[in-house]
């Protein structure tokens, strides 16, 4: 069964305890309903848009409940449609952040701790591909000398530019 979120509207400003969002819920390519979370720590709600959609959502609920339990390391929880929706939103947010970082890497060298949400930026104010390779390599050497414990250069595009990290 294919479960998707489309037309996602996410509000970081409204997200307090949980992610605040609204989205259309698709099951097997068909609009089945919509879902939302107010961002105040409550559950993610989902609704069918008509009687036939409610039946499709019931099938999706049964499917998600048949999936393996979710293991968080110190505890596990039963899978359900709500958790599946929340995971789809998390995947969407991560993909959005990855695209943002890839755009920044075109003109900047990013440093930080891998899988952390914060990072430092060395902005070259032009595409790195336009920077002389020797000068860029020298800049990388200086940046590496100033890294704090656990920090690394996060760029994935430097080796393609002929720079050794």
The pLDDT tens digits for 88-106 are 999 999 999 889 989 999 9
pTM of the entire structure? 0.81
What percentage of the chain has pLDDT greater than the value 90?
Answer: 87
Cα 101 vs. chain centroid, distance in angstroms? 11
**Number of CB atoms found within 10 A of residue 33's CB:** 20
* Residue 53 banded pLDDT, cuts 50, 70, 90: confident
Q: Under DSSP, is residue 34 helix (H, G, I), strand (E, B) or coil?
A: strand
In the chain, where are the structural domains located? 3-98, 105-161
**Number of CB atoms found within 10 A of residue 18's CB:** 16
Cα 134 vs. chain centroid, distance in angstroms? 34
* Residue 118 banded pLDDT, cuts 50, 70, 90: confident
């Amino acid at each position: 069964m294919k479960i998707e979120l489309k037309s996602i509207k996410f509000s970081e400003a409204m997200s307090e305890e949980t992610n605040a969002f609204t989205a259309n819920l698709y099951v097997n390519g068909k609009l089945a309903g919509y879902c939302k979370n107010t961002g105040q720590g409550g559950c993610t709600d989902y609704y069918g848009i008509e009687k036939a959609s409610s039946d499709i959502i019931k099938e999706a609920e049964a499917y998600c409940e048949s999936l393996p339990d979710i293991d968080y390391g110190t505890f596990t929880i039963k899978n359900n449609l709500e958790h599946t929706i929340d995971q789809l939103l998390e995947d969407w947010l991560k993909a959005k952040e990855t695209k943002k970082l890839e755009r920044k890497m075109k003109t900047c060298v990013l440093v930080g701790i891998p899988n952390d949400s914060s990072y430092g930026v060395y902005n070259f104010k032009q595409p790195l591909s336009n920077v002389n390779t020797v000068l860029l390599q020298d800049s990388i050497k200086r940046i590496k000398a100033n890294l704090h414990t656990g920090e690394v250069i996060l760029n994935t595009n430097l080796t393609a530019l002929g720079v050794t990290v």
